[in-house]
Amino acid sequence: MEIKQSKKFLIESDFDVNPLWKYEDADDTYYPIFFHEEFPEFCNRDLFVRANFSSPSNVSFKGYIVGVINIYCIVLFYKGEKFIFNKNLPERCFKTIYKLTDVLQSDLGRTIVVADIFPLKYETNINLEGYCNVSGEFNAFEKLKDQRLLRWKEI
């Protein structure tokens, strides 16, 4: 009998327990992945991989990436909050970036601008035998049509 700990929502502690999760449309639920055979059919959309992130201003975050080939979405965990950035929807990232910079400004005691956060460098943190880590760079605003919007508000 196979036992799986399914989740309706993923939180930071879920990635402390298991570095790989998949999403199943059929029951709108997340499941931990323990074996390669359990990988989702659509690895670039339904696979969630624990990762560490660092910003240009050397702020570190824990979180996860969605997919492994074309990373279009990341989630950062900071101070008990979840910050979601999807580069296919850059306009929706503004509210999130303002919220994150407010928290960072309070913690760091200095003004934070978008360039202090993006692009983020990431490296997965799988730590399971037979799996390789992936690293790269993620910029939530690379598809923003008008880059001047990034300077619209001094964050």
Q: What is the tens place of the pLDDT at every residue in 93-136?
A: 888 998 999 999 999 999 888 889 999 999 999 988 778 899 99
| 151 has a pLDDT exceeding 50 | yes
Answer whether 145's CB lies under 8 Å from 139's CB. Answer: no
Gyration radius from the chain CA atoms: 16
Higher pLDDT, residue 136 or 149: 136
Residue 29: CB atoms within 10 Å:
14
Interval 15-28: pLDDT, tens: 999 999 999 888 99
User: From CA 54, how far away is CA 38, in angstroms rounded?
Assistant: 30
CB distance 80 to 70 below 8 Å: no
Q: What's this model's pTM, rounded to 2 decimal places?
A: 0.87
